[in-house]
A and B are shown apart, each in its own frame.
Chain A
Amino acid sequence: MNDLEPAIGIDLGTTNSAVATVRDGVPRIIPNRSGQPLTPSIVAIAKNGKKLVGALAKRQAITNAENTVFAAKRLIGRRWGSKEVEDARKVLPYTLVPGPDGNDVRVELASRVYAIPELAAIVLAELKADAEAWFGRPVTKAVITVPAYFNDGQRHATKDAGRIAGLEVLRIINEPTSAALAYGFGKQVERKVVVFDLGGGTFDISILDIGKSVYDVVAVGGDTYLGGEDFDRRVIDWLTFHFAKENGGVDLREDKMALQRLKDAAEKAKIELSAATTAAVHLPFLVGGGDGRAALHLDRQLGREKLEELTKDLVDRCIAVTEKTLKDAGVRPSQVGEVILVGGMTRMPRVQKAVKEFFGREPCRGVHPEEVVALGAAIQAHALTAPQSGASEVLLLDVTPQNLGIMVVGGYFQTIIPRNTTVPTSETHLFTTVQDNQTSVRIAVLQGEGDRAVDNELLGEFVLDGIRPARRGEVEIEVTFDISADGIVGVSAKDVVTGLQQSITVTATSGLTEEEMKRILDERVDELLEKKQTTHDFDLRKERAVAALAEIEGLRAAVQDALERTRFGKDAVQKAETVLSRVRQALDARDASGLASEEESLERTLQLFKGLAGAGRGSGPR
């Protein structure tokens, strides 16, 4: 038994999430409490007010679309009004609202407004609970993965989500780096690795330069609206079309219950077709027949060839994006040393074939594409918590995820601290004025990869005024960037001659204020206490019920005797058996309220058994 506190790696995905750990030196996925390796990243408030997470939330995502939050990862750390948020608003069925300061994004769910990190925290808390159930002890330490293109704000928001979920986030690492770690790359040979990640909702392609424990994500590309769900939609369209043709134009997409079942079945069939050549879609009583007629069934076979035909253009799009990303990065397919497949959609044989044809080599196999990112995160978590285990060679350093710099004349972006610089770090650059007698300058601090300032994230700005009047170019302004080990960025601007100075401290924010964070954490404590109380309540009732059941079992023989001697009491005992069965079910299900509702009946049953047993002994042969 390992005495170290367990550490976990979490792949917090747009569509699905997974949690993994390293046990006995072997990275492994921790199944959720339903036994599944993946947990849908979905949170819902059901129509009956119950909070649902994961598979259950997914199963009512269409029938209760307005109160079901999926793909919250698209919104985490984003600013209200940004292009990404505007794009998401067009397609998401739930309501987005601006935060109190009008800056970040919130979700309105069943009349309550949630910050995005709160919603991500619900998924993380579910994964944490799964891990705790698997370990049988509390788990707090975690490494969480994020896309390589996430900026500081998005990373900070993810970290906040972990904090709300009760996790100590040891490190945030890039998803493609995590996948490469899972394959053990980076220990010896230097090479270029491409991570082809086709998930449920997004497609990401990353090019990494790996070697001697350095994992440099040199280029990323992708399509944030291309994923497995597009493939599912094609199957749904095809099924709907056939159904309409066969049933007088009945459009299944207009019936939410039918569409929910259709979507589940389409996804299932698509997954089956990765292993089989045909899949049966069988949905009895799918939709009302209308005018009192019997409900209609859907029964159809889908072949792999048909699926490939229906989705050919989607696969082609993936390859086109890959080609463009490589071209932009100046990398030829033949220069790529390894190709790692990530995401459930890469299990589709047609996708694998397309990747192989494009790169002219077989993609890496061996690690499950849906688990590889979580496994890499688990390896990193293990390296951080058990350095004596020899895992330090895969220990990643904290680096700046994107270029940091300022806006310069013409609206351009001047990098001061380049991407992948190990923190803490400090860098100084000299600038000059651009006008005669210019007395002030505005320093806009930006982060990103774009050449133009507007293409990057504005982290903060300040003005240095009181500059001595001089001809343009004669005044030198020294701009210094300091990044602390905690990721706090300090920027100062100084007139070199006069020593006049202004500065700003930029702390990445998730959009949550400290007060909000405190309120959320307090609420979480309340929830935990309530849960603990429920558990305590169940334990007390269980103790009483188990004692009563034992006493009843002890009387059973005497009661049997009594029933053989008299015709009275048989009906009552039959009813009592039903009560006993319900009590046992409540015990099995750890249902405190179920036990509470049966307590009185159980007590009456006990009295009945005592009475019958006494009568049996009293009238027995002497």
Chain B
Amino acid sequence: MADVADLIDQGIKAYVAGRVGEALRNFQCVLELDPGNPRARSYLLLIHGGAAGLVPEPAPARPPPSAPTAAAPVPLPGGGVVPVAGAVPLPGSSRPTPRPVASGSPAVPLPAPGVATEHTAATQFDQFAPSPWDEGPAAAATFVLDPDGGLDLQAVADKSDLRPLVPDVPVPAAQPARKEVDVWMQAAKELFALGDFTGSLELIEKILQVDPDHGSARDYLRQNEATLIAMYESKLGPLAGIPRLAIKPEEVMWLNLDHRAGFLLAQIDGTVDYEALFALSGLPRLDTARILANLIADGVVTT
């Protein structure tokens, strides 16, 4: 049954990776091994869009793989089962010659390790003809209407594989000249002096993309980050404070959040404090502080 579980797992993985044909074969293979397996049937139904008629009837059950012979009880010589009462000779002494004793059987050789019979389900895949779905999920309709009834041009471009004349992969920009980096650095310093730490940080990050070892930029990165973290944290209040949702849970859907803010918001349940949230988030401290400060500023969260 471990094979069945593996095959179902492989089927799910194949489906979510877009390999629908492989997923179908996996689930069908499960039904061959375990006709009527409810999970496999359920997933096949889902792949076929809930059309019950598309699910193959359970195939006749195959004979199970032969049981490992080692699993059978090993008869003891002499028919006895009581361990012999005898001391064990040291390794290196003369060849042992087990002595039968009245109360039990002589020494019994240890059974040979079981011979594993691996189920070779993978080889069964070769019995199938190649499927046109192997390369990915079936294509959706090329023409897509947007909710207002018009033609969704972006969706058309995505689905139809039509490409604009201008390559959509931007040509890598030429490396900025050293002079530009100096200009950005100067601007970053000025923004820092003016108290625009976010603007300064953006420029610093731009510089470090070009020159990751830029010493001055690294210094300003640290200073900007430390200042921004302090700024955002000051909006949170004491870090031992416990944030709470300031809106109704059902209103969360109407916010404009990214998934990181969604994750942090999901952790706010009235039991964890800010310090714990920093630990739970797994995000850099600056990002966590910024998201939380924004949630407070937007009235989503309160302490």
Which residues of A are in contact with B by a Cβ distance under 8 Å? Answer: 34, 46-48, 50, 52, 55-56, 59-60, 63-64, 234, 237, 240-242, 244-245, 249-251, 253, 255-258, 260-261, 264, 283-288, 294-297, 309-310, 312-313, 317, 407-414, 429-435, 438-444, 451-452, 454, 463, 465, 472-473, 477, 581-582, 585-586, 589-591, 593-594, 598
Partner of A409, one of B86, B238, B279: B86
Q: Check A435–B279 contact: CB distance below 8 A.
A: no
On chain B, the residues within 8 Å of A50 by CB distance are 275-276, 278-279
Q: Is B110 an interface residue (CB 8 A)?
A: yes
* Stretch of B144-152, B176-184, B202-210, B266-274 contacting A (4+ beta carbons < 8 Å): B266-274
Partner of A241, one of B43, B107, B110, B265: B43
On chain A, the residues within 8 Å of B276 by CB distance are 50, 52, 56
Minimum CB–CB distance for B119 against chain A, Å: 16
Cα of A240 to Cα of B259 in the assembled complex, Å: 16
Count of inter-chain pairs, beta carbons less than 8 A: 220
Q: Check A589–B238 contact: CB distance below 8 A.
A: yes
* Stretch of B193-201, B213-221, B250-258 contacting A (4+ beta carbons < 8 Å): B250-258
Q: Which 5 A-B pairs have the closest CB atoms?
A: A285-B262, A410-B107, A589-B240, A591-B240, A594-B238
Which residues of B are in contact with A by a Cβ distance under 8 Å? Answer: 1, 4-5, 8-9, 12-13, 15-18, 37-39, 42-43, 46, 83-90, 93-94, 96-99, 101, 106-110, 137, 237-242, 252-253, 255-263, 265-267, 271-273, 275-276, 278-282, 285, 303
Query: Can you list 18 A-B contacts with CB-CB less than 8 angstroms, sorted by A residue number?
Result: A47-B282, A56-B276, A56-B280, A244-B15, A264-B266, A283-B262, A284-B252, A294-B256, A295-B257, A309-B42, A430-B85, A431-B85, A433-B87, A441-B89, A585-B237, A585-B241, A585-B303, A590-B240
On chain A, the residues within 8 Å of B16 by CB distance are 240-241, 244, 249-251, 253
What is the interface of chain A mostly: helix, strand, loop, or mixed? mixed
Minimum CB–CB distance for A100 against chain B, Å: 28
Q: Check A413–B83 contact: CB distance below 8 A.
A: yes
Minimum CB–CB distance for B181 against chain A, Å: 27
**B98 and chain A: residue at smallest CB distance:** A409
Cα of A582 to Cα of B235 in the assembled complex, Å: 10
Q: Check A594–B261 contact: CB distance below 8 A.
A: no
Asked whether A52 and B279 contact (CB < 8 A) given A59-B267, A295-B259, A585-B303, the answer is yes
Q: Check B39–A591 contact: CB distance below 8 A.
A: no
Q: Check B12–A284 contact: CB distance below 8 A.
A: no
Cα of A584 to Cα of B29 in the assembled complex, Å: 65
Among A64, A286, A591: residue with most chain B CB under 10 A? A591
On chain B, the residues within 8 Å of A443 by CB distance are 87
Cα of A477 to Cα of B85 in the assembled complex, Å: 11
Q: Check A241–B46 contact: CB distance below 8 A.
A: yes
On chain B, the residues within 8 Å of A412 by CB distance are 83-84, 107-108
Q: Check B238–A591 contact: CB distance below 8 A.
A: yes
On chain A, the residues within 8 Å of B260 by CB distance are 257
Q: Check A432–B85 contact: CB distance below 8 A.
A: yes
Minimum CB–CB distance for A593 against chain B, Å: 8
Asked whether A444 and B88 contact (CB < 8 A) given A312-B38, A410-B108, the answer is yes
Partner of B39, one of A34, A260, A309, A581: A309
**B261 and chain A: residue at smallest CB distance:** A285
Q: Check B110–A309 contact: CB distance below 8 A.
A: no
On chain A, the residues within 8 Å of B263 by CB distance are 257, 260-261, 285
Cα of A594 to Cα of B303 in the assembled complex, Å: 14
Q: Check B93–A288 contact: CB distance below 8 A.
A: no
Q: Check A409–B240 contact: CB distance below 8 A.
A: no
Q: Check A410–B84 contact: CB distance below 8 A.
A: yes
Partner of A591, one of B239, B256, B266: B239
Q: Check A434–B83 contact: CB distance below 8 A.
A: no
On chain B, the residues within 8 Å of A440 by CB distance are 89-90, 93
Minimum CB–CB distance for A557 against chain B, Å: 27
Cα of A432 to Cα of B102 in the assembled complex, Å: 13
Q: Check B17–A249 contact: CB distance below 8 A.
A: yes
**A49 and chain B: residue at smallest CB distance:** B279
Q: Check A241–B12 contact: CB distance below 8 A.
A: yes
On chain A, the residues within 8 Å of B238 by CB distance are 582, 585-586, 589, 591, 594, 598
Q: Check B258–A309 contact: CB distance below 8 A.
A: no
Partner of A463, one of B39, B90, B242, B267: B90
Partner of B110, one of A294, A432, A442, A454: A454
Minimum CB–CB distance for A243 against chain B, Å: 8
Minimum CB–CB distance for B105 against chain A, Å: 9
